[in-house]
Structure 1
Amino acid sequence: MTQPRTIKGLVPGQNTSDGAGVKLKRLIGTQMLPDLDPFLLLDEFSSDSPDDYLAGFPNHPHRGFETVTYMLNGRMRHRDNKGNEGLLESGDVQWMTAGSGLIHSEMPEQEQGLMRGFQLWVNLPRREKMKAPRYQDIASTNIPVVSDGNGNSVKVIAGRYGEATGPVDGVTLDPLYLDITLAPGQSLTVPVPKGHNALVNVFEGAVSIGGSAIAKGNMAVLKDGDAVTFEGGSEPGRFLLIAGQPLLEPVVRYGPFVMNSSEEIAQAVQDYQAGLF
């Protein structure tokens, strides 16, 4: 017998900007929800106005966590100070482990049209914060999509759904990252590992859980359980279901550095200023 997950609380996205002025909606990393262990930040960017995104995210450092960039629409060029470079296009994903530190930029490669996607920050356990940086650049063609014949579909970026396994690997926190489309009037039950913290972010239409609706632009934090059932409304709904094993460790953050103590933060700043990233 499954233990169904229900909604613990709803979090509205807050309009803000980051990088060189990119306009976005922040769902994790606000005063209302500073974090959701192991997730440190969740941003949604969506605009067809070039002024909202063209300045991009020039060179900036990271240490102690991972960034997950999921492009729904548009093109984003990534470069770092170690000579790595890649291009994210519509539907592609990058799971970047910053680890001991790097300096990178994320710049739009288009001057017009829709730029839409998400960036998630995932904390690293204490024992992995100083590991070597690593990239998983995943083309949309390599991400499995499971359809059920009723108009519902599940894009499996990380974790498992049915017989499909997402291409992201080697992540300690056993993450689940699904992009789900729910047809009008349909329902869908999705297993979620018990004990994982889980969220649902609706970015098209609306869906319900246990009779409680989640409107577009809102995120639901879920109670514990081993499955969640989604109910569709009068129009298609599309949303992210993300879950991860909590670390239950101290979190000390200073801008782009996330460590376990203030002393480690001071060392990160010192290393960055000394050119050691």
Structure 2
Amino acid sequence: MTATLSTVLQSRRVERLVQGKPTSDGAGVRLTRVLTQNLQRRLDPFLMLDAFRNENPEDYIGGFPDHPHRGFETVTYMLAGRMRHHDSAGNAGLLGPGGAQWMTAGSGLIHSELPEQEEGLMEGFQLWLNLPARDKMIAPSYRDIPPEQIPEATTAAGVRVRIIAGSSQGVAGAVQREATQPLYLDVHLPAGGRFQQAIPAGHNAFVYVYRGSVEVGGTVVVDRHMAILANDSGEGVVLAASEEARALIIAGQPLGEPIAQYGPFVMNTGAEIEQTLRDYRDGKFEAAVVQSL
């Protein structure tokens, strides 16, 4: 679909640049942790962003064996490679290039994410999105979103945007959420490309560049860096690329609630975390009934 650029008279300025930190998770999967725990309150409702880009099978072949979650949503977006999902209700899904999976952990479930390849490039992202207190104990659910179900728009200047959540250029994305109103865009800019995206006042927002370099509100952001956008300026964000580049634009309405995290569990109080640990030890996560979104 060809679209007209949103009108952003003034871009938000870049408040801070963050370089992702190399780490490993699961069974030794090498990844870059971009949004770390110390940024959770600043970027509320987002809890974590991991980026992975590995061509060496030893860096991803172990995947993420069975592990629990409670109290938030995970959004996995694949650029290359294939990942198989299994959960404690017996559900399974295959995430391939260009596809996404939106999983609401809610009251708790156990799942695994394992590569279905033994060679080649594995690349993608996992974003953690918090749930409001009222929804933390809802029934778990998930949705596999194949590439053809992620809406796209192409501007007159040749900028291609994939709209995973929220809306852009008059096109609604694959997922909408009332409480957090997430915006999740994958923006592909040609050389000389310019892209404008409106962002509601008060929403926290950031840009993560994963190919080339992009000028964001007048600041150059290079590959594997995140630009946190200030909340005190501009109606949105403007991206410009002198050479071909790609970036994620992510924004959402902050919940403004306490955050209590213990590994894969995110609640509002320490007492709720203690109850979560008891529930997990008692096997209650294994009995989860996962609903399809």
Measured against the shorter chain, the TM-score band is: over 0.9
Q: Does residue 262 of structure 1 match 2:270?
A: yes
Q: Is the 1:175–1:244 Cα contact (8 Å) retained in structure 2? A: yes
Which residue is 2:245 aligned to? Answer: 237
How far off its partner does 1:183 sit?
1.6
Say yes or no: does 1:274 pair with 2:282: yes
* Residue correspondence of structure 1 range 108-147 to structure 2 within 5 A: 108-147=115-154
Among 42, 52, 55, the alignment partner of 1:45 is 52
Separation in structure 1 between the aligned mates of residue 53 and residue 11 of structure 2, nearest angstrom: 32
Task: Give the counterpart letter for 2:245 in structure 1.
Answer: G
Query: Alignment partner for residue 86 of structure 1, among 76, 93, 96?
Result: 93
Contact 1:158–1:178 (Cα < 8 Å) also in 2? yes
**Within-5 A mapping of 1:1-277:** 2-31=9-38, 33-34=39-40, 36-170=43-177, 172-224=179-231, 225-233=234-242, 235-277=243-285
Alpha-carbon deviation of 1:163? 2.2
TM-score of the superposition, structure 2-length normalised? Answer: 0.91
1:171 Cα deviation from its structure 2 partner: 5.0
- Offset of residue 218 of structure 1: 0.3
Identity of aligned residues (%): 53
Q: Show structure 1 runs of 4+ deviating over 2 A.
A: 1-4, 169-172
SS in 1 for 2:98: coil
C-alpha displacement of 1:162: 1.6
147-156 or 6-15, which deviates more: 147-156
Structure-2 separation of matches of 1:30 and 1:17: 15
Give the match's secondary structure for 1:127. Answer: helix
- After superposition, the CA RMSD in angstroms is 1.3
* Superposed displacement of residue 34, structure 1: 4.7
2:37·2:47 contact (CA, 8 Å) conserved in 1?
no
Question: Equivalents in 1 of 2:120, 2:193: separation in Å?
Answer: 32
Paired residue total:
275
Aligned to 2:288: none
1:193-251 deviation per Cα after TM superposition (whole angstroms, max 9, x unaligned):
22110010000000002321000010000012421111112x21100000011011000
> Cα offset for 1:61?
0.3
Distance 2:176 2:145 in 1: 11
Q: 1:210 to 1:167 in 2, by over 3 A?
A: closer
Structure 2 gap ranges (5+)? 1-7, 286-293
